[in-house]
Amino acid sequence: MLNDFLTTQKTAPPPISAMGYVTMIGILLFLIYISVHYAQNPLYQKTFKYLQAFQLVILYSWYFGFHISFVNNLPFYHCRLAMLVILFAPKGTYIKQYFALLGVLGSIAALVYPAFDPFPFPHITVLNLIFSHWALLANSLIYLQDHYQSEKQDSLRIFKITFGMNALIFVVNLLTKGDYGFLRRPPIIGDHGALLNYLLVSLVMVAGICLVNQRYKYKYKMVEETVVSRSE
């Protein structure tokens, strides 16, 4: 089992059973519930921050310890960037809020439609996809519950950041021949060529992040109205 966990020999993405998928989605839904309700609990906050940091250390120890190519080991996947920003960026910045919104969207998308690396179960990258996105989802929800500011995020800003980030990832893919951000072979929508992939992925991301943002704007507005009505 240790050999399967650390192997560098690629095979094929492991299949996921119906029970395994239902369990994974069930835990995702449970994390949404408890992360909203326990967002202000210091122990809960620290638990998922430490889990995220531990997961990243383990993954990158494997990448560098086994000399994995730059085609795969750079942190230019959308959710990987979100993990780093959520852990290390200062609170209250629009960039951190953007990546928290992205973290919610990306975690749900990654677990609803898991794109495992071509290694046997239980490989480190396979387990990482599951556990890292659970942790990212919790950390993103915790941050948004406590620090969401409606004035820091609008659709135009989301558009600019998303297209700018994906332009950077596009260049990284050209230099490394990698598939960071799934810009070379997007799941579900398929490969339509580099430039069209960039456009389609960016537009889908903008629509999804704006949807999550609107949900928080609505919640923020309802809270403000409640506070005003109580003060009258």
Model pLDDT for residues 47-74, shown as the tens digit of each residue: 999 999 999 999 999 999 999 999 999 9
CB 79 within 8 A of CB 101: no
* Distances 205 to 147, 182, 185, 195, 223 between C-alpha atoms, Å: 22, 12, 15, 15, 27
pLDDT at 98 over 70: yes
pLDDT, residue 1, reads 66
pLDDT, residue 227, reads 43
Q: Is the pTM of this model over 0.85?
A: yes
Compute the distance between CA of residue 157 and CA of residue 48 in angstroms, rounded to an integer.
28
Q: How confident is the model at residue 223 (pLDDT cuts 50, 70, 90)?
A: low
pLDDT, residue 188, reads 82
Model pLDDT for residues 110-128, shown as the tens digit of each residue: 999 999 999 999 999 999 9
Model pLDDT for residues 165-174, shown as the tens digit of each residue: 999 999 999 9
Nearest to 135 by CA among 9, 31, 23, 16: 31
